[in-house]
Chain A
């Protein structure tokens, strides 16, 4: 009798672990099957590519966020950083007629400054990362707005002087926002971040710092240096996301990056549980983004009205997070 109980309990534990490891992937699979069965075109090649394209910007930004989560930080300013990159890149082309390289370099340079500012504030003032970056989120959002003078930057826009802007967005830049390049960039970012976090000593140090900052410090890891690096990487990837966004849309909208913040956060947190890593990880974040992407896409195909979509999205997110965090109770 007693033996039987123990065996049953063991099975319970295993089933649970299994759910924890594969729950997210299973959910994605399930959604795909459901959408496949209930719509005509879900499983077409063009739609699958469509899904990948639609999640690429979120994934790039979320990967940066993942790196900041790995050191135990939380970069809430990634959306605003993307806005800055987008505004700077497009303005370089449209206002100043600069070539491709200068536009991109200027955008990334701006993000580098943003990352350094975040890192300095977080490491110097010992304020919780999430609160500090919540503050900087507003600051950077304001900076992006100020830079664009509160307006959308696009070709042929009317400048404050009353003239039309004459700069053109380079065709090569627009390519970055089109298939296949937009998907390639995303996959390269995910893969590079995965290798960096799991197979280099830098990544290992970052996870150690995220796991126990005091023990990491006393093991001789220069904690602040790595936290700084993580915030810079986070800002640069957010910047890359903003650049791709600009390339895709062909203009810099007001607060263009802001809507990506919450989806990026959701993707990164769903990703914790993927394959049982229990930590922020790049592949998991990608899976999280795929989950959100498949869901959005399928709901559109099912003609769910756009105003009701967030209800379903939020519900699935809650379910995925429940699987991830229920284990913390043991």
Chain B
């Protein structure tokens, strides 16, 4: 019995409550050294809470944690580290000091805890040791570079390297791939495989199901604070996983669409914006959903922002119903009938400190005024209430602060303000990023509904299944340019991927 427990991390009957919420309810979880364990669940299922318990972020849980069959008392982050548990959270920047070098960030644990009586930093030694850690991980990042200058993927590598400077037995990766491009994800996976082969247990949280099969052996699925299923990943299909996550039968992810696109309504010719967008021409018909595919960094976000005037006036011409628009700012764009749901929801899409109602009415405020300026709270509530109902925004009331909503519901609020605006052209930039599966489906349906009402939709996404399932036509971007136009029915994920990576095809 004791032998078998060697190299096992077990969490038994973990429960934790916060005011008003039972976040975890008797959750059991087991991970093993040298294996990667996928922890899956919709947003709010409790997977992050469970991992925070393991990392010592919450001290007031009930239940038991055992490592190697012996009880491990983990109530503080220090306890967790002492037991060899390290976490790389999704928000890498919160764990890094941007103005310090890569070396200092990697060796931070040591600089903080193992200086003993010393008062000076030995730079040569520091860089040498950091270099050694990176070398062991087969990662090439200059150790003297400032962390602020690194890419997101590199920052993750730095954090993983930092974990490796300690006696790390279990490494928790919280949605590490969400912001990464395919090439970067591949690099991360290579590193994960390397760590596994050296006996580190990996716990991997992700919303992207297909990639789990590449690196994970085991899976645990959570729902509503409980573990609903676990086992070996190879026994599960994606369909089955999604069913267990949602707890109900999953009928096809994308809405069925019947409308046929009409006339060309929106046209953009040779849009250029510095070295971000280097030439893009596109058109959208009424009622058409046009995909904008490409890897992260291909310029999709930049093109959307350029069309919306968010970077100031750009060169090229934009026409709506054949009439040329002067889009020098988002203010102009909105008045002309354009709408943009931006990629960075919390930074660009919503006002977290404001109420749901105020968020929804912000783009159409003049409509709820009397005498040109006086706001009518009743009219605002009415309009917002309508949208909250239509989109199924889960909020106690319109007066609730948006900060208290889940990611998916925040995104619905960000989209909802443009539904009130009744724009002609809707641009979505990665609208399902960091959104749980249930809310994703709602968003797809909403996009389809907009098209059915004859709106033009531009849908930028680096998730190829979304592009394939939702759009009528696809533009593929590579290095700031639109390099290809494809009919969705007559193409494949492989073909889009080929052009996205700079391939030229036949």
18 A–B pairs (Cβ distance < 8 Å), ordered by A? A6-B17, A6-B20, A9-B19, A199-B375, A200-B373, A201-B366, A201-B375, A204-B358, A207-B354, A211-B352, A218-B340, A218-B342, A218-B348, A220-B333, A220-B335, A220-B363, A221-B331, A279-B353
Asked whether B374 is an interface residue with its Cβ less than 8 Å from the other chain, the reply is yes
Residues of B within 8 A of A2 (CB): 17, 62
Closest to A203 in B: B375
Partner pick for A212 among B350, B363, B374, B375, CB 8 A cutoff: B350
Asked whether B238 is an interface residue with its Cβ less than 8 Å from the other chain, the reply is no
Asked whether A215 is an interface residue with its Cβ less than 8 Å from the other chain, the reply is yes
Partner pick for A13 among B19, B352, B362, CB 8 A cutoff: B19
Asked whether A149 is an interface residue with its Cβ less than 8 Å from the other chain, the reply is no
Query: Closest CB-CB distance, A127 to chain B, in whole Å?
Result: 19
Asked whether A164 is an interface residue with its Cβ less than 8 Å from the other chain, the reply is no
Residues of B within 8 A of A278 (CB): 353
Which of A5, A220, A221 has the most B CB atoms < 10 Å from its CB?
A: A220
* Bound-complex Cα distance A176 to B110 (A): 67
* In contact, A214 and B417 (Cβ under 8 angstroms): no
Closest to A5 in B: B17
Which 6 pairs from chain A and chain B are nearest by CB? A220-B334, A200-B373, A211-B351, A222-B331, A201-B365, A214-B348
Partner pick for A208 among B18, B308, B362, B375, CB 8 A cutoff: B362
How many A residues touch B, CB cutoff 8 Å?
A: 27
Closest to A202 in B: B373
* In contact, A218 and B308 (Cβ under 8 angstroms): yes
Asked whether A35 is an interface residue with its Cβ less than 8 Å from the other chain, the reply is no
Which of B17, B331, B347 has the most A CB atoms < 10 Å from its CB?
A: B331
* Bound-complex Cα distance A179 to B436 (A): 62
* In contact, A219 and B334 (Cβ under 8 angstroms): yes
Q: Is the interface of A mostly helix, strand, loop or mixed?
A: helix
Query: Closest CB-CB distance, B413 to chain A, in whole Å?
Result: 11
* Bound-complex Cα distance A278 to B355 (A): 12
* In contact, B354 and A208 (Cβ under 8 angstroms): yes
* Bound-complex Cα distance A288 to B17 (A): 38
Query: Closest CB-CB distance, A272 to chain B, in whole Å?
Result: 12
* Bound-complex Cα distance A219 to B354 (A): 14
Asked whether B330 is an interface residue with its Cβ less than 8 Å from the other chain, the reply is yes
Query: Closest CB-CB distance, A246 to chain B, in whole Å?
Result: 32
Q: Which residues of A contact B (CB under 8 A)?
A: 2, 5-6, 9-10, 13, 199-202, 204-205, 207-208, 211-212, 214-222, 278-279
Of the four ranges (under 10, 10 to 19, 20 to 34, 35 or more), the interface on chain B belongs to: 20 to 34
Which of A10, A200, A216 has the most B CB atoms < 10 Å from its CB?
A: A200
Partner pick for B363 among A5, A199, A207, A219, CB 8 A cutoff: A219
Closest to A10 in B: B19
* In contact, B362 and A10 (Cβ under 8 angstroms): no
Query: Closest CB-CB distance, A232 to chain B, in whole Å?
Result: 17
Closest to A196 in B: B373
- Having A5-B17, A200-B369, one finds 14 other A-B pairs with CB under 8 Å, namely A6-B17, A10-B19, A13-B19, A201-B375, A204-B358, A207-B354, A208-B358, A214-B347, A215-B347, A215-B348, A215-B349, A219-B363, A220-B334, A221-B331
Closest to A279 in B: B353
- Can you list, as one digit per residue, whether each of B361-372 has a CB less than 8 Å from chain A (1) or not (0)? 011011001000
Query: Closest CB-CB distance, B270 to chain A, in whole Å?
Result: 24
Residues of B within 8 A of A211 (CB): 351-354
Partner pick for B330 among A5, A204, A220, CB 8 A cutoff: A220
Asked whether B310 is an interface residue with its Cβ less than 8 Å from the other chain, the reply is yes
Asked whether B329 is an interface residue with its Cβ less than 8 Å from the other chain, the reply is yes
Residues of A within 8 A of B331 (CB): 220-222
Which of B335, B358, B373 has the most A CB atoms < 10 Å from its CB?
A: B373
* Bound-complex Cα distance A5 to B417 (A): 40
* Bound-complex Cα distance A214 to B358 (A): 16
* Bound-complex Cα distance A178 to B369 (A): 38
Residues of B within 8 A of A219 (CB): 330, 334, 362-363, 417
* In contact, B369 and A201 (Cβ under 8 angstroms): yes
Residues of A within 8 A of B369 (CB): 200-201
Query: Closest CB-CB distance, B275 to chain A, in whole Å?
Result: 21
Residues of A within 8 A of B347 (CB): 212, 214-215
* In contact, A208 and B17 (Cβ under 8 angstroms): no
* Bound-complex Cα distance A126 to B253 (A): 45
* Bound-complex Cα distance A199 to B352 (A): 20
Query: Closest CB-CB distance, A275 to chain B, in whole Å?
Result: 15
Query: Closest CB-CB distance, B487 to chain A, in whole Å?
Result: 31
* Bound-complex Cα distance A279 to B355 (A): 13
| Given contact pairs A214-B348, A215-B351, A199 touches B342 in the complex (Cβ within 8 A) | no
Partner pick for A200 among B353, B362, B375, CB 8 A cutoff: B375
* Bound-complex Cα distance A208 to B363 (A): 11
| Given contact pairs A2-B17, A200-B375, A217 touches B310 in the complex (Cβ within 8 A) | yes
* Bound-complex Cα distance A270 to B347 (A): 27
* In contact, A212 and B358 (Cβ under 8 angstroms): no
Query: Closest CB-CB distance, B452 to chain A, in whole Å?
Result: 25
Partner pick for B374 among A199, A207, A222, CB 8 A cutoff: A199
Residues of B within 8 A of A202 (CB): 373
Which of A201, A202, A214 has the most B CB atoms < 10 Å from its CB?
A: A201
Closest to B363 in A: A219
Residues of A within 8 A of B20 (CB): 6, 10
